[in-house]
């Protein structure tokens, strides 16, 4: 099953992925940025790109009626990034409770597909555990199998 997603461009070190969201609000440039934290751990930051500052705004609510396609594109960048960095462990957390919940729902809805290539962990009460459907988590880790 292939999910509909946007085409994206990648910078030379495979750390920034850019694509355009297209919908009723127009064309909005999005960026997925993988930032090295420590050892093999990278943070996944995602949001609208402020082209003046080059910064990511992860608090803007775009409402461009394409959230499934956008999340599928972000997932595709994670897949691509971990092909380039197979030992990477990727941390993802929403900028708000509702965004983290949205990520959890996306993982839940596609877990069987995700589990073919990745192990997913959730942060609950300060401890990491293998992702379980129906649990609330504060953050997520993805590691290629």
Question: Half-sphere exposure of residue 20, counting CA atoms within 13 Å on the CB side?
Answer: 8
pLDDT at 3: 81
Please say if the pLDDT value at position 144 is more than 70.
Answer: yes
Band (pLDDT 50/70/90 cuts) for residue 70 is very high
| pTM of the full structure | 0.89
Higher pLDDT, 65 or 59: 65
**pLDDT of amino acid 58:** 75
Domain residue extents for the chain? 9-144
Q: Dump pLDDT digits (tens) for 74-125.
A: 999 999 999 999 999 999 998 889 889 989 999 999 999 999 999 999 999 9
Average pLDDT (112-141) is 96
1 pLDDT higher than 70: no
**What's the confidence (pLDDT) of residue 99?**
87
Q: How far apart (Å, rounded) are the C-alpha atoms in residues 107 and 45?
A: 17
Express each pLDDT in 14-34 by its tens digit. Answer: 899 999 999 999 999 999 999
CA dist list (Å): 54 to 31, 62, 77: 10, 18, 19
Interatomic CA distance for residues 84 and 75, integer angstroms? 15
**Where are the extended beta strands (E) located within the chain?**
9-10, 16-23, 26-38, 41-49, 56-57, 89-92, 118-124, 127-130, 140-144
């Amino acid at each position: 099953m292939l999910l509909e997603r946007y085409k994206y461009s990648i910078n030379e070190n495979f750390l920034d992925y850019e694509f355009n969201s297209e919908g009723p609000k127009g064309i909005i440039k999005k960026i997925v940025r993988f930032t090295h934290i420590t050892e093999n751990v990278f943070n996944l930051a995602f949001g609208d790109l402020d082209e003046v500052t080059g910064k990511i705004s992860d608090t803007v609510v775009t409402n461009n009626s394409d959230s499934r396609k956008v999340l599928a594109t972000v997932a595709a960048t994670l897949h691509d990034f971990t092909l380039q960095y197979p030992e990477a462990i990727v941390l993802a957390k929403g900028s708000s409770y509702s965004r983290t919940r949205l990520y959890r729902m996306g993982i839940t809805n596609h877990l069987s597909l995700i589990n073919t290539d990745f192990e997913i962990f959730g942060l609950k009460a300060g401890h990491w555990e293998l992702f379980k459907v129906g649990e609330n988590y504060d953050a997520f880790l993805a590691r290629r199998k």
